[in-house]
Amino acid sequence: MTQPPARTDDLALWSALRRHTQARIGLGRAGSGMPTRHRLELQAAHAAARDAVHSPFDPDLIAAGLAGVPTVRVRSAAPDRLTYLQRPDLGRRLHPTDRAHLPTGAWDVVFVIADGLSSRAVHEHAAAVVRATTAVLPPGTGVAPVVLAEQARVALGDDVAHAMGAASVVVLVGERPGMSAADSLGAYLTYGPKPGETTDAARNCLSNIRPPRGLAYETAALKLAALLRGARELGRSGVDLKDEADALPG
């Protein structure tokens, strides 16, 4: 049966709404299905999400973006990508032989760059976030060498910080890709992490760092610096620590 033509004012309404979101809304119909163009766009987005999950982590690329910044490389206990996806618990623990290679010191914070579920996100954004954040930290802040972690999940940062003697850890990790973003970077801050004991309630998260469609590097850096200062003053992070940088420009 032929569908009645869409009203001009309806089309204008949906067109205006689509300018404010990446969500797939008001796509219309072609008979009983989706218009071909939108169906192809959805398939392309799904392919990009799969590629983001399975693309190999390239620590050399990130180290190049951090030229002049000391780095150290570690792996999780997950031996390969398939195991990493099937066994989240292994991605939260350091490989036993890599723990011994971590330097130790009385550092205020260690940044851990982890591939997570989107290597693309960390390749494109992580180095810039580290540079922007360290640039706005108070003078004298002790920053440990940046740790590049392969097959890693957020909680691996607890193990890293504990082994290195850092008071806080900021894990920059590739977030689970969706149908509108395959390059979204997340930043998870934890104060006083304890391996195997720290819960997600003890973390503060900044999500969707990916300019120009998401959070800008400079804004993320200012928020992380404010959270690090607040965590140090409060003596903890997570649900008790509020982000007071909401008024910052984006």
The domains of the chain are located at: 57-234
Confidence of residue 180 (pLDDT cuts 50, 70, 90): low
The answer to whether residue 247 scores a pLDDT higher than 60 is no
The answer to whether residue 73 scores a pLDDT higher than 90 is yes
Find the angle CA(203)-CA(204)-CA(209) to the nearest 5 degrees.
130
The answer to whether residue 76 scores a pLDDT higher than 50 is yes
Closest CA to 177 of 123, 117, 119: 117
Say which residues have a Cβ less than 8 Å from residue 145's Cβ, sequence separation at least 6.
69, 70, 71, 72, 103, 110
The answer to whether residue 202 scores a pLDDT higher than 50 is yes
Residue, of 205 and 38, whose pLDDT is higher: 205
Confidence of residue 164 (pLDDT cuts 50, 70, 90): very high
Strands, E assignment, the chain: 71-75, 109-114, 146-150, 168-174, 185-191, 203-209
Q: What is the DSSP letter of 93?
A: S
pLDDT at 231: 95
Q: What is the DSSP letter of 139?
A: T
Once rounded to an integer, what is the mean pLDDT over residues 95-103?
91
Indicate the class that CATH gives domain 57-234. Answer: alpha beta
The answer to whether residue 29 scores a pLDDT higher than 50 is yes
Flag whether the pTM goes above 0.85: no
